[in-house]
Amino acid sequence: MKSKRFCLACDLKDDPALIEQYKQYHAPGNAWPEITQSIKEAGILDMQIYLTGNRMFMIMEVDDSFDPVRKAEMDANNPKVEEWEQLMWGFQQALPWAPEGVKWLEMEKIFHLS
């Protein structure tokens, strides 16, 4: 099985207290089990989120079964995931160039050391 990497970006609201709360929700053991289960069921093998200031970068390693469209459909049909997304939207803000309603934007790879 071959894996593929997705790198995405999203901003948090530029409020130190909100950023700290967001970090607590994502601290080891704090993410809701239904969320981590849905991530794994979608074919995501590993997910990491990095933060600098209020800009976040997400790196996902996925297997061949992963399909972003299918993941969005799965999320839309999972009330617990929708609840989590609404909660997280209270901390997040779209990148200035993001289409309406889009949080995480896929990043363009512009360099690879080979």
Query: Domains of the chain (ranges plus CATH)?
Result: 4-93 (3.30.70.1090)
Confidence (pLDDT) at 13: 98
What is the Cα–Cα distance from 74 to 33, expressed in whole angstroms? 16
Query: What separation in angstroms does the CA of 75 have from each of 38, 71, 81, 83, 104?
Result: 8, 6, 6, 10, 14
* pLDDT tens for each residue of 10-54: 999 999 999 999 999 999 999 999 999 999 999 999 999 999 999
Q: Collapsing DSSP states into helix, strand and coil, what is residue 62?
A: strand
User: How high is the mean pLDDT of the chain?
Assistant: 96
Confidence (pLDDT) at 2: 77
pTM comes to 0.91
Give the position of tokens 């849905």: 38
To which H or E segment does residue 86 belong? helix 79-89
What is the Cα–Cα distance from 90 to 12, expressed in whole angstroms? 9
